[in-house]
Structure 1
Amino acid sequence: MEFSLSKEQKMIQEMVRDFAQKEIKPVAIELDREARFSQELFEKIGKLGLLGIPFPEKYGGSGADTVSYAIAVEEIGKVCGGTGLSYAAAVSLGASPIYYFGTEEQKQKFLVPLASGEGIAAFGLTEPNAGSDAGGTKTTAVLQGDEYVINGEKCWITNGTHALTVTVTAVTGKDERGKNIISALIVPKDTPGMTITSPYDKMGVRASETTQIVLEDVRVPKENILGDSQKGFKQFLYTLDGGRISIAALAVGLAQGAFEKALQYSKERKQFGSPISSFQAIQFKLADMAMEIELARNMVYKAAWLKDQGLPFTKESAYAKLFATEMAFRTCNQAIQIHGGYGYMREYEVERFLRDAKLLEIGEGTSEIQRLVISRQLGCR
């Protein structure tokens, strides 16, 4: 399979790279230190059309493909993992479910503002007792007249505070086998009874806000149920498959950013009268890093291409997410090692890349869950 980029994909790559270098990179250290989500940056990202890359023009998007979107995530992640995470979550988890499963009315009302860059959205799946076991959802939504009344709690939710809408999963009944029916519902910002807080002091991706959402007798019109009320579980599994491509792309970006810093440093740093890049121990580290980044990038492009072709991509997105995130942690760790003592210092930034990379092995399905997904796709039961 040939992964040479099209003219349009290269244009998006150059545009996002230029924006990331000029607008995000200068503030990345500050955003990490202050653990601050930049509303200003996301307004610029919206105006540039990046929030609508994979959505059709009739919904305010750019009409590009998933490969183009993955390229954009990588370029942002190359300079700031936190900003990259919020961007990926806004598109893959916030807006995409509405595009995949929403009615035409829902798309016009909720997707158009997101795709056209007016704001971002969030996806409320994880709960205090339902992480990897997403089927253990305890949040409930009861139909009363023309409204659903939602009660429950969500945690680790990216973009919650600034979201125009939060799509939450909730138990809406029982099927014929007595199992919970999980549905997805769109909850607009400032809906009475929805409280969003940011209590987490995180190790990494600190430029991304991670929130807690409490829903107390939150009422939304029954028209806000997303797609088939009986298939909420399948809907968010599909959503997560797509989201894993973006997390894998973010991992590639972080690894590429760390690698470039390590390569540059190795050529400048002299020991024993020579640049350390002349030492075979360093050369082999850099060779392995470059090779693994390229392998991971190809896996991301393949999964994205399959999705664009309407072909099954569950296994491939899990391959990409698992390999790319574990590769990113290895690569960022080696980048610190190449920097020596300087790598441990914040001003050299590679320590931030490592802290940011760790989250990617956990979010959107842990590495262990990815291995479970892959083994089941192989027919293991």
Structure 2
Amino acid sequence: MDFTPTEEQEAARELAARIFADLATHERLRAAGSGTDTELWKALCAAGLPGAVEETGLLGLVLLLEEQGRVTAQVPFAASCVYGILAVARHGTEEQRARLLPGLRDGTTVVTGAFPEPGAVTSRDGRLSGAVEWVPWLRDATHVLVPDGNGTLWLVRTEDAARVDPVELTAPWSAGRLVLDGAPGERLGDGDGDGDGAGGDGAGGAARADVLAAARVAFAGLQAGVCAGSLARAVEYTSVREQFGRPLSTHQAVQLRAADAHMDTEAIRVTAYEAAWRFDEGLDVTGAALTAAWWASEAGKRVVHAGQHLHGGMGADLDHPVHRHFLWGRQLDAYLGCGSELLAELGDLLAEGELS
């Protein structure tokens, strides 16, 4: 394994870091409230960063999402890249790639993913029915990627959905409740789309598993950035805040708490890197993606709690920048799934001998 970024990946990361640093400031995030920063999204797309993921792969996307997470920038970058660009590039037909990828690159097309429990959404004759209680960045999306009970992936235009109800989450992700009532869908990839997707484990399951693994890795990378940003703020604060005439950072208890948070953050990062590398190399990624998601969920909670606690009373200020990291960390924990659920899924795969 070699996680050293290529020149293209490093250049994209440096560019993303500059744009996020310039535009995702505390003042702008306060002004955005719970909505998306459309100016920042336009700047990222104008710089060609979503489109760069086609060349830099999932590992390149993880590097970009780390930079987003460091500043908790409110844009649908993760969702549109993993459920849109990567999904279409890997599983779309030649015609779909030619038609959809240009809009995904320039940001005029935004895709998010609604991956409920199997059977929650059914398809018949190319029309989908069911509901997904909350979908991140659904209010920004032009399309939503939805698997049916067979695992077949469908692109549904949000304007064709029966209803999109705004939902406020722990983090400001412009989420919504998706209600489908015979909504027309476009099957992603080859196939006539006329089958009944009421249940089962059809051939479409491989594509669903591929996109789900990529999503778990991408959002784990985002969590690595959120945790790194939270820890950086805590280190800065404890280095200048004094107690009994000494900086807080000189106290052993503070040092140990920060050290534990650093090790957790590195564990999230390295497991996300490994899973992304395996994905890009065409290796089996299922187990690595679950491992990265588990670390992001379990360790992520610990880190953002530590970041807030190390700020003392300031950590209780809802307007303090570190509080956003806390909210994002807890939201990513909820999105990836609790640790026990992820371990149970990983254990089932191990017991069935399906991991290499």
TM-score (norm. length: structure 1): 0.83
CA RMSD of aligned residues (A): 2.2
Q: Could you tell which deviates more after superposition, 304-313 or 153-162?
A: 153-162
Instruction: Spell out, residue by residue over 1:296-321, the C-alpha distance to the aligned partner (whole angstroms, 9 max, x if none).
Output: 21111111111111111111111111
Distance apart, 1:98 and its partner CA? 2.0
Distance apart, 1:109 and its partner CA? 1.5
Q: Which among 229, 253, 274 is matched to residue 281 of structure 1?
A: 253
- Matched-pair identity in %: 23
Per the alignment, residue 178 of structure 1 pairs with none
Q: Structure 2 CA distance, aligned partners of 1:297 and 1:182? A: 29
Residues 7 and 165 (structure 1 numbering): CA distance in 2 closer, same or farther, change over 3 Å?
A: same
Q: Structure 2 CA distance, aligned partners of 1:158 and 1:202? A: 9
Q: Which among 162, 166, 180 is matched to residue 144 of structure 2?
A: 166
**Superposed, which structure 2 residues align to 1:277-356 within 5 Å?**
277-356=249-328
Counterpart of 2:303 in 1: which secondary structure?
helix
- The answer on whether the counterparts of 1:28 and 1:79 sit within 8 Å (CA) in structure 2 is no
Per the alignment, residue 22 of structure 1 pairs with 22
Residues 368 and 50 (structure 1 numbering): CA distance in 2 closer, same or farther, change over 3 Å?
A: farther
Per the alignment, residue 226 of structure 2 pairs with 254
Which amino acid letter does the alignment assign opposite residue 142 of structure 1?
A: R
Distance apart, 1:187 and its partner CA? 2.1
- The answer on whether the counterparts of 1:25 and 1:80 sit within 8 Å (CA) in structure 2 is no
Per the alignment, residue 213 of structure 1 pairs with 178
Per the alignment, residue 45 of structure 1 pairs with 44
Counterpart of 1:15 in 2: which secondary structure?
helix
Distance apart, 1:106 and its partner CA? 1.3
Q: Structure 2 CA distance, aligned partners of 1:158 and 1:81? A: 14
Distance apart, 1:294 and its partner CA? 1.8
Q: Which among 136, 159, 164 is matched to residue 119 of structure 2?
A: 136
Per the alignment, residue 100 of structure 2 pairs with 110
Counterpart of 2:238 in 1: which secondary structure?
helix
Residues 120 and 268 (structure 1 numbering): CA distance in 2 closer, same or farther, change over 3 Å?
A: same
Counterpart of 1:65 in 2: which secondary structure?
helix
**Superposed, which structure 2 residues align to 1:52-67 within 5 Å?**
52-55=51-54, 63-67=55-59
How many residue pairs get aligned? The number is 343
Residues 342 and 214 (structure 1 numbering): CA distance in 2 closer, same or farther, change over 3 Å?
A: same
- The answer on whether the counterparts of 2:151 and 2:207 sit within 8 Å (CA) in structure 1 is no
Q: Structure 1 CA distance, aligned partners of 2:73 and 2:343? A: 24
Residues 346 and 6 (structure 1 numbering): CA distance in 2 closer, same or farther, change over 3 Å?
A: same
Which amino acid letter does the alignment assign opposite residue 259 of structure 1?
A: L
- The answer on whether the counterparts of 1:255 and 1:328 sit within 8 Å (CA) in structure 2 is yes
Which amino acid letter does the alignment assign opposite residue 197 of structure 1?
A: D
Q: Could you tell which deviates more after superposition, 371-380 or 311-320?
A: 371-380
Which amino acid letter does the alignment assign opposite residue 94 of structure 2?
A: E
> Does residue 2 of structure 2 align to residue 10 of structure 1?
no
Which amino acid letter does the alignment assign opposite residue 123 of structure 1?
A: G
- The answer on whether the counterparts of 2:70 and 2:229 sit within 8 Å (CA) in structure 1 is yes
Q: Structure 1 CA distance, aligned partners of 2:50 and 2:73? A: 17
Residues 22 and 11 (structure 1 numbering): CA distance in 2 closer, same or farther, change over 3 Å?
A: same
Instruction: Spell out, residue by residue over 1:226-249, the C-alpha distance to the aligned partner (whole angstroms, 9 max, x if none).
Output: 445643333222211011111111
Per the alignment, residue 272 of structure 1 pairs with 244
- The answer on whether the counterparts of 1:343 and 1:349 sit within 8 Å (CA) in structure 2 is no
Per the alignment, residue 121 of structure 1 pairs with 111
Distance apart, 1:155 and its partner CA? 2.6
Distance apart, 1:114 and its partner CA? 0.7
Q: Structure 1 CA distance, aligned partners of 2:294 and 2:73? A: 17
**Structure 2 residues without counterparts, runs of 5 or longer:** 194-201
Q: Structure 2 CA distance, aligned partners of 1:368 and 1:98? A: 31
Counterpart of 2:294 in 1: which secondary structure?
helix
Per the alignment, residue 88 of structure 1 pairs with 78
Per the alignment, residue 374 of structure 1 pairs with 346
Q: Structure 2 CA distance, aligned partners of 1:189 and 1:338? A: 42
Residues 196 and 226 (structure 1 numbering): CA distance in 2 closer, same or farther, change over 3 Å?
A: farther
Q: Which among 160, 163, 166 is matched to residue 195 of structure 1?
A: 163
Counterpart of 1:155 in 2: which secondary structure?
strand
Which amino acid letter does the alignment assign opposite residue 118 of structure 2?
A: G
